Amino acid sequence: MSEAGPASSIRYPLTRELADTCLARARAPLPAEVNETARHTLLDWLGTTISGWADPSVAMLEETIREDAAAPRATLLGSGFRTSVRDAALVNGMASHVLDFDDVHLGSRVHPSVPLWSAILAICERDGLNGQRALSAFVAGVEMQSRIALVMGEEHYRRGWHNTATFGMFGATLACAALLDLTFEQTQHALGICATQAAGLRAAFGTMCKPLHAGHAASTGVLAASLAKRGFTSRTDMLECDAGFVELYAGARSNEAIAASLAGAPDYQARTILFKYNASCYGTQGPIEACKLLRQQLGDRLDAIEAIDIRVEPQYLSVCCIAEPVTGLEAKFSIAQMAALTLAGWSTVDANSYSAQALDDPLILALRQRVTITPNPRQPRASTDVALVLKDGTRLAQHVDTSKPESDLARQAKQLRAKATSLLRERLVDAQVEPIVQTVLRFDDVANVRDFIATVTAALRIARLTT
């Protein structure tokens, strides 16, 4: 029963239904392909997290955490330092998102793995839980944050909220609730505790605060579930109550609209997770891939380009359309910069491509000045049309749609193995990489996540001793 408070205009029992549905996902056997996708997300998350540790912003956050000297319960993966579960979730979460190279879920506009795996692994390490429980908690967390997104619609994002922060907190809270064996009522309280802390502004995109959002979401999930476990209470209808999360963060929603949005939810939202192969905002992925194809057509005849016409969905103009980026973080949110970088033949993965050298490169600057980005209301999300208009009047065009998840999971595993191996080799010696990759791809066989974390930490220590 809800705590006393003003009557809600929404009668739909949203908090209760989401808690019930998503907890059930955590406690039921997973379909084989969903389990495999969850393993893929962990592999991708691990590679981006370990690689992301080189970013100065992560070092700043870790130094701040070390000053507090919390009880050693969970590991900061990139350094081996042990701290509290909440602080480990915070720092690992930031590191996993700092490259903007992690997975996405287009339906919710959430980067699903960064708030979830950062919280899940910290709790599993402390409590000695097994790999299958971690995978199940991940799938349940994806379900939670994705279903909230369905209810909230596009208005939440249009208002300037960063969904990975605001919805990711709920995913992390639900995942932690499952791992901590919260009761149904405790889980509703945990979601209420989470709701009153939800924050994260899209205005921070292109700054160090965007990856901090992901870490904060993970840490908030740990805190909310942990408090509820101890009897800390909130409203049990915080999502749908009057002036609650739905109303304040997205505007009025009718009972019928809520019911309809959830009735249309795909079975297992984890099936629609997408992966990045360029280290920048997902809104730049389509233009990058189109420019890769156009460069194959054009070759090195870049001086023949008169104009570069890029058409995208209108929303991306407020997300990743920084016209003149001055930092590497801003470059990741600049369609024009990433298109010019790609046409000039630079890597979209190498850290040097986001350095001052790339930002000041005369050829990239010249190409960027020829870019025109046009919003197309009929353009499907994550698709793009790019055309090169040459000085002789020739027009070369490419259409790319990056909205579809890979249907061949074996091919996806091969691609992610290559990506993760490359990222892990930045910090680990070669002999240590393959055993870790193999373990992640069989993570449901891991008897104790604590042992897996110890293996990664030992590999990092060996690498430091040999360099």
In tens, the pLDDT along 32-73 reads 999 999 999 999 999 999 999 999 999 999 999 999 889 999
Render pLDDT for 338-393 as a digit per residue (tens, 0 to 9). Answer: 999 999 999 999 999 999 999 999 999 999 999 999 999 999 989 999 999 999 99
Phi then psi for residue 300, to 5 deg, are -90, 10
Query: CA 81, 275, 319 angle in degrees (round to 5)?
Result: 90
| Whole-number pLDDT of residue 147 | 97
Each residue's pLDDT tens digit, 285-340: 999 999 999 999 998 899 999 999 999 999 999 999 999 999 999 999 999 999 99
pLDDT score for 265: 86
Residue 348: CA count within 13 A, CB half-sphere: 30
pLDDT at 465: 82
Label residue 190 left, alpha or beta by phi (over 0 means left) and psi (-120 to 50 means alpha): alpha
The whole-number pLDDT of residue 4 equals 43
Binned at pLDDT 50, 70 and 90, residue 2 comes out as very low
Closest to 259 (Cα-Cα) out of 463, 5, 13: 13
pLDDT per residue over 118-127, tens digit each?
999 999 999 9
What does the pLDDT read at residue 418? 98
Least confident of 100-109, 114-123, 221-230, 260-269: 260-269
Query: What share of the chain in percent tops pLDDT 90?
Result: 93
Q: What is the pLDDT of residue 467?
A: 67
Stretch among 44-48, 192-196, 459-463 having the lowest mean pLDDT? 459-463
| Residue 310, strand partner residues | 373, 386
- In the chain, the percentage of residues whose pLDDT exceeds 70 is 98
Domains and CATH numbers, the chain: 14-272 (1.10.4100.10), 282-401 (3.30.1330.120)
Mean pLDDT of the chain: 95
